[in-house]
Amino acid sequence: MAARLSRRAFLSAAGAPLLAGPLLSRAGLASTPPPPRDAGARAVDYRRVRLADPFWAPRQRTNRSITVPHLFGQLRENGYVSNFERAAARQQGGYRGPVYMDSDVYKTIEAASYCLGSAPDPAIGAQVDEWIGRLRAAQRPDGYIDTCYQVNGRARFTNLRDDHELYCAGHLLEAAVAHNASTGRSDLLEMARRYADLLEATFGDGPGRRPGYCGHPEIELGLVRLSRLTANPKYLALARSFVEHRGEKFFAAEHGTPLSAYDGTYWLDDVAIRDHTVISGHAVRALYLYSAAVDLAAETADASLVAAVERVWKNATDRRMFVTGGLGSSEHNEGFTDDYDLPTFKAYQETCASIALVFLGHRLNRLTGDARYADLVEWTLYNAVAAGVSLSGDRFFYVNPLASTGSHHRKPWYDTACCPPNVSRLVATVGGYAYATGERDVFVNLYLAGSADVELPKGRVQVEVDSAYPWGGSVTLAIRETTAGDFALRLREPGWCGGPMSVRVNGETPPTLRREKGYVVISRAWRAGDRVELDLPMSIRRLQGHPLIEETSGRVALSRGPIVYCVEQADVGAPLATVRLPGTAPLRAERSDRLAGATLLRGEASAVAVPSGGRLYGEATGAPATTGASITAVPYCVWDNGEAGPMRVWLAVG
Amino acid sequence: MAARLSRRAFLSAAGAPLLAGPLLSRAGLASTPPPPRDAGARAVDYRRVRLADPFWAPRQRTNRSITVPHLFGQLRENGYVSNFERAAARQQGGYRGPVYMDSDVYKTIEAASYCLGSAPDPAIGAQVDEWIGRLRAAQRPDGYIDTCYQVNGRARFTNLRDDHELYCAGHLLEAAVAHNASTGRSDLLEMARRYADLLEATFGDGPGRRPGYCGHPEIELGLVRLSRLTANPKYLALARSFVEHRGEKFFAAEHGTPLSAYDGTYWLDDVAIRDHTVISGHAVRALYLYSAAVDLAAETADASLVAAVERVWKNATDRRMFVTGGLGSSEHNEGFTDDYDLPTFKAYQETCASIALVFLGHRLNRLTGDARYADLVEWTLYNAVAAGVSLSGDRFFYVNPLASTGSHHRKPWYDTACCPPNVSRLVATVGGYAYATGERDVFVNLYLAGSADVELPKGRVQVEVDSAYPWGGSVTLAIRETTAGDFALRLREPGWCGGPMSVRVNGETPPTLRREKGYVVISRAWRAGDRVELDLPMSIRRLQGHPLIEETSGRVALSRGPIVYCVEQADVGAPLATVRLPGTAPLRAERSDRLAGATLLRGEASAVAVPSGGRLYGEATGAPATTGASITAVPYCVWDNGEAGPMRVWLAVG
């Protein structure tokens, strides 16, 4: 089994690359829109990308040595083992935690499997094996597994809206695909397949099938990956059925809610997916659903599906995104509210939503070959996602505000622990977001020092990258070996550059450079020893928000390269609330030995004087008295790694 | 019964005035601090104050003609009748709504009783009688009544932390005291007394009594009022026991929470009341508790209790109060967070918390004779409290943000409907906050056009006030009749004046004026026909927040007299988020026929240009392009009475 699947498994492990041809024909679709603009790009698997950069390489090491063992430890400490053991023993009662606990186990196994895919690790391997044993013992003969339902003796699939059974199943499928791809083993995959077969026989279109879909999309992503790995279109068909039916207000029927009183927005169950115009509802649910929709569109060449997702993406990024590349304005629904409602202290920006945005942007980039999607993938990775885990690897943010009075800190675990294993599986595979290939193209989306083995239809290319990126903007990309002949190197020109990046090929500036969809395109017969030198301008930028964003008015955020900065109380000698950044004060970038060698920004600001015993409100006195205050800004992604305290991304100008 | 109680009832109806002598001796108190600074002021009952002012008089008419009938209608529509009928019929099951529903009935009866106290109203009287019938039918023979517990068949007093039984009882007691005072009838009072007797035999100190107190203070206030009305010290003793024991972490024991894991802050059960230093926990709970503590301190001459409340008051008003005079920064706990954490969009500022702050300030003013407490009573009444009900009288705010994107509106009712009847009972009795008397003093705390009958130990004084207050600052106070001889008129000099108010007596400016604790004191042998003319400077003020308040930085709020203003989207031709108020732009005040004749503020501002298709974030460009924009500011208390839309109290300066 392992041998037969190995190539497909390889292709599917990091971010589910597209197959050359669709597994599912479009026959039977109600409408027949024109085919999508499919760039046909295929991600280069994370295992083909060796990182030696100053940002992700140490994080990946920590992920393997600290985070994954920490996750397994937390599973043990928080009742997960007992849930599976009770399910295996058919014990009733004593289930611990919220309904979706199983998914944390699956995501941890998935993250661990990615580590095993990069390099052997007996300790992690043993933990995975132990868990697979528990899972197999708990699985029912017909393939069903959901410890919450089993231990509580509930009737299966009776509350799809709230109870996350299919969501958990989706994570089981993803874990199994990852485990098979990394280890070549089929035990977990067989388990997952049996459950997927049960689901396929239970749900979807056709006589005798149950209607409905899961309140939290995820099963669709798992089914697509399983379908690709096994080359079995029935899983894809089920994923498609779930996506296509969504919006039929199934949850109103399931819960006896009168349609007149039903608002399915939170569950993305208000309108059919092709009719979506703005991003709304629960952020992670929305982004997982759209990611699945792009997977399906890629398989079915369904342009109307892509058009809907692109419409929503545009709304999200034009009007509803935080400066750090994350989404989700409100704690209330863990999701979206109104255009330009982008608070700072109350920014929700769940780590999982940022991860999901990376999933979606990655898919859209591959589908369209447009660098603007990869721009945001990079921005979100370096800022909103990287903030999700401490430098020590064992503390996590679930919520990521852009300002804090000092009480917000990373925690070792959460009752709802979706984020810790999610960030772990992404860090493990971040190299998979760097390169993609087309028929005759090598896309370079992330500039990560290290090397990569890239496979084109006509041959292989070994690329080596030397750079201090993201702390420095000089990037040298050398072709070490190639058997691929002519091909186009598509080098992403980051949107944050604000202008053209300089490009030299073998020491010469090409007389003309083709620029296409955000890429500098260099087509030639590449040879071993060829060198491309890029210089990405890394000035310190003051970013301002759109005038309709209330909370950024009169404020700026600092960025340099792909990194958004913030100021922590410990780095400034006045109360953070009083700090004012002069509009033209010079700021300088300095490499530091703090915070894993991050480049920090330093400069002179001022601070409004705080009167002793001052009244809470008083007559405005014009320009307030100020004193000088030196400030140091640190990358947002590493805040709360030092002295815990107040923090601000948006600094008052004055 | 009615005749015997009439004088005490009169004294007790509006805000529970202090008795001349303590009902409870201090014997038995653990510590013996010096006696408090007791001004011994007694509120002049609301029924002795006839309003003819442009602000409260129409609101009081609407309260009687619209609000109170609306409240009774909502009780009927929302299952309250059925709860009581089921309890009366001893039916099990079918209880509707949250546990504290009974209290809404009691507060509605209390508000209705106050209306009956001012003038007869057969329709309201009939509704009250109908409800008293229901209550009597539901009450158990031993005095117990709590329809939630009765209909659900729960064991009494088994979850004091969460289930509000004693809270509901407190509101029954308050309703009963009000009903007796207003109508002279004793039926509801007898009911309440029976329940109070049961509580008194069940809780408090002594052998065989249950330990504990209610998760939501209120019973203490009801017991004090009942004690004063009936001259029975046992109710006061029980109130004192509840207050004194609070902080003993009873709820940890009740719920089996290990002390190491127990945080009683929310319920004010973390430390003993005398050890409170900052205001924390749930806002309404905190303020009801402190109000009860001041009642007890007044009875027991307990200075340490007063010192604790004054300490907390100082923290609240110096560091945790909104510019509109309300409290409670966070939805999370409906209460307090950190010093200077005063958000705008997310200001919680529950209407009930503002009402409770009025209760507390009123008590502290009477106890200390210090006008700074009355200053805040006025400010909170005209802003945070008045906003709680629509001009139409049938829509209510529960939460009162200082900025809205446009989705926040008053509603006819809430599942947790504490605020609507609470604001109604306060509007009905607002005249009771205007005057107070000492041995030889008449305190004037609110400048309300109309007349008042004030009783001093030596005789009666009839006062007539002519003024357009709060829209105009000229106030003429005439002595119509007096038999009181020499006494001091203590005229509050509002803190918002920012400077001395001008005072003339019988057309002459007194050569010297004694000023004491925020009052201008004029002592003389007053005669009928004497006139005092005040001129309170009513310039338009730009208020700024303390530098440590994040969300007011770079912004001003407008006020004039005691009124805080806001700007609604409908009154400005540019998106509200883009409006900038120049620091020195002239503003003018204009009486209007809109919004019940409010004085509006008008002026020229500017608006940041909104680029079409503008990016969400871009490089800061220095001073943004602006266009002129006329603005009209309306009193905060009447926002959301016209075209529904976005609103801002704090306006960006620029």
Query: Using DSSP, how many helices (H) and how many strands (E) does chain B show?
Result: 17, 23
Average pLDDT for A368-377 = 97
| Among B317, B554, B557, beta carbon nearest to A654 | B554
CB contact under 8 A, A617 and B544: yes
For the stretch B23-52, pLDDT in tens is 333 333 333 333 333 456 899 999 999 999
What are the CA-CA distances from residue A94 to residues A136, A142, B434 (Å)? 20, 24, 61
Mutation target vs A (from B280, B617, B621, B636; most A CBs, 10 A cutoff): B617
Rounded to the nearest angstrom, the minimum Cα separation between A136 and chain B is 37
Mutation target vs A (from B279, B408, B584, B616; most A CBs, 10 A cutoff): B616
Would you say B389 and B61 are in contact if contact means Cβ atoms under 8 Å apart?
no
| Among A575, A578, A616, beta carbon nearest to B319 | A616
CATH code reported for the domain at A437-535: 2.60.420
- Closest residue in chain B to residue A615, using alpha carbons only: B318
Asked if the model's pLDDT at residue A17 lies above 80, the reply is no
Asked if the model's pLDDT at residue B15 lies above 90, the reply is no
How far apart CA B331 and CA B397 sit, in angstroms, is: 14
Q: Give A323's DSSP letter.
A: T
Pairing state of beta strands B486-492 and B441-444?
parallel
Phi-psi region of A601 (alpha: psi -120 to 50; beta: other; left: phi over 0): beta
Size of interface A-B (CB pairs under 8 A): 132
Rounded to the nearest 10 degrees, what angle do helices A68-77 and A101-118 cross at?
150
Rounded to the nearest angstrom, the minimum Cα separation between A548 and chain B is 5
Average pLDDT for A418-444 = 97
Rounded to the nearest angstrom, the minimum Cα separation between B402 and chain A is 13
Kindly state the tokens that stand for B214: 């209610």
Asked if the model's pLDDT at residue A9 lies above 50, the reply is no
Q: What is the pLDDT of residue B3?
A: 32
For the stretch B94-106, pLDDT in tens is 999 999 999 999 9
Q: What is the pLDDT of residue B38?
A: 43
Instruction: Give contacts of B567 with chain A, Cβ < 8 Å.
Output: none
**What DSSP assignment string belongs to A529-582?**
T-EEEEE----EEEEEE-TT-GGGTTEEEEEETTEEEEEEEEEESS-GGGEEE-
CB atoms within 10 A of CB A153: 11
For the stretch B385-441, pLDDT in tens is 999 999 999 999 999 999 998 989 999 999 999 999 999 999 999 999 999 999 999
| Among A405, A553, A557, beta carbon nearest to B341 | A405
Rounded to the nearest angstrom, the minimum Cα separation between A77 and chain B is 18
CB contact under 8 A, B541 and A578: no
- Closest residue in chain A to residue B619, using alpha carbons only: A543
CB contact under 8 A, A554 and B654: yes
CB contact under 8 A, B546 and A624: no
Asked if the model's pLDDT at residue B512 lies above 60, the reply is yes
Would you say B511 and B497 are in contact if contact means Cβ atoms under 8 Å apart?
no
Q: Give B36's DSSP letter.
A: P
- Closest residue in chain B to residue A619, using alpha carbons only: B543
CB atoms within 10 A of CB B370: 18
Between vectors from CA B498 to CA B494 and to CA B501, what angle results, nearest 5°? 60
How far apart CA B289 and CA B51 sit, in angstroms, is: 30
* Contacts (Cβ under 8 Å, ≥6 apart) of A299: A18, A19, A22, A23, A24, A224, A236
CB contact under 8 A, B614 and A546: yes
For the stretch A191-228, pLDDT in tens is 999 999 999 999 999 899 999 999 999 999 999 999 99
- Closest residue in chain B to residue A324, using alpha carbons only: B617
Percent of chain B with pLDDT over 90: 88
- Of A151 and A29, the one with more pLDDT: A151
CB contact under 8 A, B545 and A608: no
Q: Give A347's DSSP letter.
A: -
What are the CA-CA distances from residue B15 to residues A163, B124, B292, B415, B428 (Å)? 50, 22, 11, 27, 12
Contacts 24+ apart (CB under 8 A), A141-147: A142/A194, A142/A198, A143/A191, A143/A194, A143/A195, A143/A196, A143/A197, A143/A198, A144/A195, A144/A198, A145/A87, A145/A102, A145/A169, A145/A172, A145/A191, A145/A195, A146/A102, A147/A83, A147/A84, A147/A86, A147/A87, A147/A95, A147/A101, A147/A102
Q: What is the pLDDT of residue A39?
A: 53
Q: What is the pLDDT of residue A11?
A: 28
For the stretch A153-165, pLDDT in tens is 999 999 999 999 9
Instruction: Name the band, by pLDDT with cuts 50, 70 and 90, for residue A141.
Output: very high
Order the strands of the B49-51 sheet from edge to edge: B49-51, B450-456, B459-467, B474-482, B531-535, B502-505
CB contact under 8 A, B578 and A547: yes
Q: Which residues pair with B604 in a beta bridge?
A: B630
CB contact under 8 A, A619 and B542: yes
Rounded to the nearest 10 degrees, what angle do helices B283-300 and B219-230 cross at?
30
CB contact under 8 A, A616 and B549: yes
CB contact under 8 A, B615 and A498: no
Strands of B472-586 (E only): list them.
474-482, 486-492, 502-505, 514-516, 519-525, 531-535, 540-545, 555-560, 563-572, 579-581
Average pLDDT for A63-86 = 97
CB contact under 8 A, B323 and A617: yes
Q: What is the pLDDT of residue B39?
A: 53
Average pLDDT for B62-75 = 98
Mutation target vs A (from B318, B550, B615; most A CBs, 10 A cutoff): B550
- Helix H or strand E segment including B7: helix B2-12
Q: What is the pLDDT of residue A21?
A: 30
CB contact under 8 A, A405 and B608: no
CB contact under 8 A, B544 and A621: yes
The whole-chain average pLDDT of chain A stands at 92
| Among A317, A544, A614, beta carbon nearest to B620 | A544
Cis peptide before B470 (omega within 30 of 0): yes
What are the CA-CA distances from residue A197 to residues A106, A237, B301 (Å)? 18, 12, 78
CB contact under 8 A, B619 and A542: yes
Overall fold of domain A7-16+21-433: Glycosyltransferase (1.50.10)
Rounded to the nearest angstrom, the minimum Cα separation between A329 and chain B is 13
CB contact under 8 A, B619 and A543: yes
Average pLDDT for A362-381 = 97
Would you say A359 and A291 are in contact if contact means Cβ atoms under 8 Å apart?
yes
- Of A350 and B35, the one with more pLDDT: A350
| Among B577, B619, B622, beta carbon nearest to A548 | B577
What are the φ/ψ torsions at residue B486 (nearest 5 degrees)?
A: -65, 130
For the stretch B532-547, pLDDT in tens is 999 999 999 999 999 9
- Closest residue in chain A to residue B321, using alpha carbons only: A616
| Short-list A44, A38, A16, A46, CA closest to A369 | A38
- Of B210 and B4, the one with more pLDDT: B210
Would you say B345 and B554 are in contact if contact means Cβ atoms under 8 Å apart?
no
Percent of chain A with pLDDT over 70: 94
Q: Which residues pair with A565 in a beta bridge?
A: A635
- Helix H or strand E segment including B170: helix B165-183
Instruction: Name the band, by pLDDT with cuts 50, 70 and 90, for residue B18.
Output: very low
CB atoms within 10 A of CB B207: 4
Asked if the model's pLDDT at residue B19 lies above 70, the reply is no
Tell me chain A's radius of gyration from C-alpha atoms: 25
**Amino acid at position B32, single letter:** T
| Among B542, B577, B622, beta carbon nearest to A547 | B577
Rounded to the nearest 10 degrees, what angle do helices A419-428 and A351-368 cross at?
40
Instruction: Give contacts of A544 with chain B, Cβ < 8 Å.
Output: 617-621
CB contact under 8 A, A577 and B340: yes
Kindly state the tokens that stand for B431: 């005249």
Q: What is the pLDDT of residue B99?
A: 96
Instruction: Give contacts of A405 with chain B, Cβ < 8 Å.
Output: 337-338, 341, 550
CB contact under 8 A, A343 and B345: yes
For the stretch B575-611, pLDDT in tens is 999 999 998 889 999 999 999 999 999 999 999 999 8
Instruction: Give contacts of A541 with chain B, Cβ < 8 Å.
Output: 619
CB atoms within 10 A of CB A10: 17
For the stretch A309-333, pLDDT in tens is 999 999 999 999 999 999 999 999 9
CB atoms within 10 A of CB B133: 13
- Closest residue in chain B to residue A498, using alpha carbons only: B619
**Amino acid at position B552, single letter:** T
Between vectors from CA A339 to CA A337 and to CA A341, what angle results, nearest 5°? 65
CB atoms within 10 A of CB A181: 28
pTM here is: 0.86
Domain range summary for chain B, segments of one domain joined by +: 7-16+21-433, 437-535, 540-612+622-653
CB contact under 8 A, B577 and A549: yes
How far apart CA A640 and CA B234 sit, in angstroms, is: 55
Q: Is A248 helix (H, G, I), strand (E, B) or coil?
A: coil
| Among A556, A575, A614, beta carbon nearest to B620 | A556
Instruction: Give contacts of B583 with chain A, Cβ < 8 Å.
Output: 620, 622
CB contact under 8 A, B543 and A338: no
For the stretch A466-521, pLDDT in tens is 999 999 999 999 999 999 999 999 999 999 998 889 999 999 999 888 999 999 99
Q: What is the pLDDT of residue A460?
A: 96
CB atoms within 10 A of CB B500: 12
Q: A29: burial class by Cβ within 10 Å (0-12, 13-18, 19+)? A: middle
How far apart CA B109 and CA B106 sit, in angstroms, is: 5
Q: Is B113 helix (H, G, I), strand (E, B) or coil?
A: helix
Average pLDDT for A417-428 = 98
Asked if the model's pLDDT at residue B574 lies above 60, the reply is yes
| Among A340, A577, A622, beta carbon nearest to B550 | A577
Contacts 24+ apart (CB under 8 A), B92-100: B92/B151, B92/B152, B92/B153, B93/B151, B93/B152, B94/B151, B95/B147, B95/B148, B95/B151, B95/B152, B97/B415, B98/B415, B98/B416, B99/B148, B99/B162, B99/B163, B99/B164, B100/B148, B100/B164, B100/B167, B100/B168, B100/B216, B100/B416, B100/B418
How far apart CA A131 and CA A72 sit, in angstroms, is: 9
For the stretch B251-303, pLDDT in tens is 999 999 999 999 999 999 999 999 999 999 999 999 999 999 999 999 988 99
CB contact under 8 A, B577 and A543: no
CB contact under 8 A, B547 and A610: yes
The whole-chain average pLDDT of chain B stands at 92
Q: What is the pLDDT of residue A642?
A: 86
Q: B425: burial class by Cβ within 10 Å (0-12, 13-18, 19+)? A: buried
Q: What is the pLDDT of residue A1?
A: 30
Rounded to the nearest angstrom, the minimum Cα separation between B565 and chain A is 14
Instruction: Name the band, by pLDDT with cuts 50, 70 and 90, for residue A27.
Output: very low
